[in-house]
Amino acid sequence: MDSGRPIGIFDSGLGGLTVQKEILRLLPHESTIYFGDNGRAPYGTKSRETIIRFATQIVRFLQVHQVKMIVIACNTASAFAYDAVRGMAGVPVIEVVTPGAEAAMGATRTGNVGIIGTTGTIRSQVYERAIRRVDSRSVMITAKACPLFVGLAEEGWWDHPITRLTAAEYLKPLQEAGIDTLVLGCTHYPLLGNVIQSVMGESVTLINSGDAVAHVVKGRLESLGLLNPGQGKVTHQYFTSDSTDQFKRLGSIFLEQPIESATHVNIEQFSAEWPDDSNGQSEAEQT
C-alpha cells in the first residue's frame, strides 16, 4: 500500500478532533481525512445497531478516499462498532478504549479509578473489560455516564456556569469514591477538562487518550512500513454531515489551528450494509 495515502479519522462530531490534534502533533508528515457526523450526533444515547450502521457508512466514505488506516476517534463507536469496522475496513483500524485503559493503569497509584463517558460507553462496560485485560491487579472502578457533556462541548460551553453545575452534579459519585485517576472516556470531554479538573481537584489525574492513541497510530504505521516518509504534500481534509460553518468555527478551537475549509457530506448515501463476517456483533456485546 502507498504510505502517502491519508489516515481516516471519524467521530460523532467535533470530539475526535482532540485525537486528530495529537496525531497531527506526533505525525506531522501524515495527511488526514476527518469525518464528523455532527448531523447525527450524539452517538452516546443511540443503540448498538444504529452506531454500527453509522460507522459502516462512514467506513464506506473513507474507503472512497483510499485511506491507509482508520482511527475510530469515538469511544461509543469503539465500544459498539470496532469489530464491525475491522471486519470490513480492509485497512488497519485503531480504537480509543484500549490506549485510554492502558494510560489509566499507568497513572493510578491507588488502583481506584473512575471512568466517565456516554451512556452507551458506560453501559457497554467496555472500559472495565479493557482495564482488566491490560492489568491483572485488583482495581476498584467507578463509572458514570455524563451524556450532557457532549452537548455542552459541541455548544462551545467549555467553561460556562452551566457546565460547572452539570459537572459538580455528575462527578459527585466519583468524588465520593476517592478515585485518584479519571478516564475521560469520550473524546468530547477533554474540552471540558478544566472544569472537570477543578471539580475533582488537582490530586486526580485526568486521562485524555488522544496522546496515547496517536502513539498507537505511529507504532502501527511503523510496524507496517506505512509511515509517510514526508516527501509529498501534506493535506488535511475535513468533512461533516452538518453545517460546515459551525464545524469550522468550533473545530478550529478544538484543534487549536484554523480549519479553512470543510465539506458537507450526505453520509446516508453510503451503503449501510453490514459486513457478512461481523454479524453486527461487537466487542462490547461479547462478554
Q: Cell 516518509 appears where? A: 229
- CA–CA gap between residue 195 and residue 171 (Å, rounded): 11
Per CB under 6 A, the segment of 10-18, 27-35, 60-68, 240-248 that binds ligand DGL is: 10-18
Residue 98, interface with ligand DGL (CB under 6 A)?
no
Instruction: Kindly provide the residue ranges of all beta strands, DSSP E only, lying in the chain, ordered along the sequence.
Output: 7-11, 32-36, 69-72, 93-94, 112-117, 140-145, 181-185, 205-207, 236-240, 263-264
Peptide bond into 42 cis (omega under 30): yes
Q: Which of 7, 8, 10, 11 binds ligand DGL (CB under 6 A)?
A: 11
Residue nearest to ligand DGL (CB): 44
Smallest distance, Å, CB 208 to ligand DGL? Answer: 11
Site size for ligand DGL (CB under 6 A): 17
Q: Which is nearer to ligand DGL, 24 or 146 (CB)?
A: 146
- Measured in degrees and rounded to the nearest 5, phi and psi for residue 212 equal -65, -40
99 binds ligand DGL (CB under 6 A): no
CB of 5 or CB of 15, closer to ligand DGL? 15
Amino acid at 57: Q
What mask of x and - would describe binding to ligand DGL in positions 175 to 194, judged by CB under 6 A? -----------xxx------
Report the residue number, 104 or 226, with the smaller CB distance to ligand DGL. 104
Q: Is 15 in the site for ligand DGL (CB under 6 A)?
A: yes
Specify whether the CB–CB gap between 216 and 99 falls below 8 A: yes
Residues of span 30-89 touching ligand DGL by CB under 6 A: 41-44, 74-76
Q: Could you say whether residue 209 binds ligand DGL (CB under 6 A)?
A: no
Report the C-alpha gap between 113 and 96 in whole angstroms. Answer: 18
Residue 213 in the binding site for ligand DGL (CB under 6 A) = no
Choose among 228, 221, 175: nearest CA to 70: 221
Contact flag: residue 100 with ligand DGL (CB under 6 A) = no
Q: Footprint of ligand DGL on residues 127-146 (CB under 6 A)?
A: none
Cβ proximity to ligand DGL, 166 vs 228, nearer residue: 166
C-alpha cell at 265: 457530506
d(CA 278, CA 257) in angstroms, rounded, equals: 38
Report how far residue 212's alpha carbon sits from residue 191's, in angstroms, rounded to the nearest whole number.
17
Active site residues: 74, 186
Binding site for ligand DGL (CB under 6 A): 11-13, 15, 41-44, 74-76, 118, 121, 150, 186-188
